[in-house]
């Protein structure tokens, strides 16, 4: 006599592990992407939902750190483009240029300060996936 046992929760990775794998994959895509290609994959990470504590902590910490980096790089690129346009036209750059560069630097500094939390959360996530 053959008895079939349903394979529900016992087969394959748990929901927590699948979620952790999805978060880790999204973080890896963000890490590998360069500006401006990082923006769409960062939005994916930001919009990802995670119920598991470690997956959510990693998602949130990395989304915050990389958002600050992306915003800094976006602002810096805009300012550089504006400076080049004004320079080639032989006119002075706008008065608020220095203020915007300082803002970009603050965002970059903020990103650098937040990256260790992202790295720690990713390490914890990797532990879960072992």
Per-position b or e across 76-89, b if 16+ CB within 10 A of its CB: beebeeeeeeeeee
Which of 20, 47, 19, 45 has the alpha carbon at shortest distance from 30?
A: 45
Tens digits of residue pLDDT in 41-66: 999 999 999 999 999 999 999 999 99
Q: Where are the domains of the chain?
A: 15-129
For the cut 70, the answer to whether the pLDDT of residue 38 exceeds it is yes
pLDDT confidence of residue 125:
94
Find the mean pLDDT for residues 67-81. Answer: 94
pLDDT confidence of residue 16:
87
Sign of the C-alpha dihedral, residues 8, 9, 15, 21? negative
pLDDT confidence of residue 99:
92
Tens digits of residue pLDDT in 92-104: 888 898 899 899 9
Find the mean pLDDT for residues 101-116. Answer: 95
Find the mean pLDDT for residues 3-19. Answer: 69
pLDDT confidence of residue 2:
53
């Amino acid at each position: 006599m053959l008895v079939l046992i349903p394979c529900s929760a016992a087969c394959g990775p748990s929901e927590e592990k699948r979620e952790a794998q999805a978060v880790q994959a999204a973080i890896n895509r963000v890490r590998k992407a360069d500006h401006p290609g990082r923006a769409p994959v960062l939005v994916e990470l930001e919009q990802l939902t995670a119920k598991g504590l470690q997956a959510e902590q990693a998602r949130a910490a990395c989304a915050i750190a990389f958002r600050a980096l992306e915003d800094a790089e976006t602002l810096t690129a805009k300012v550089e483009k504006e400076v080049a346009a004004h320079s080639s036209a032989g006119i002075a750059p706008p008065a608020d240029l220095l203020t915007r560069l300082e803002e970009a630097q603050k965002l970059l500094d903020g990103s650098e300060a937040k990256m260790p939390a992202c790295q720690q959360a990713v390490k914890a996530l990797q532990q879960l996936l072992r």
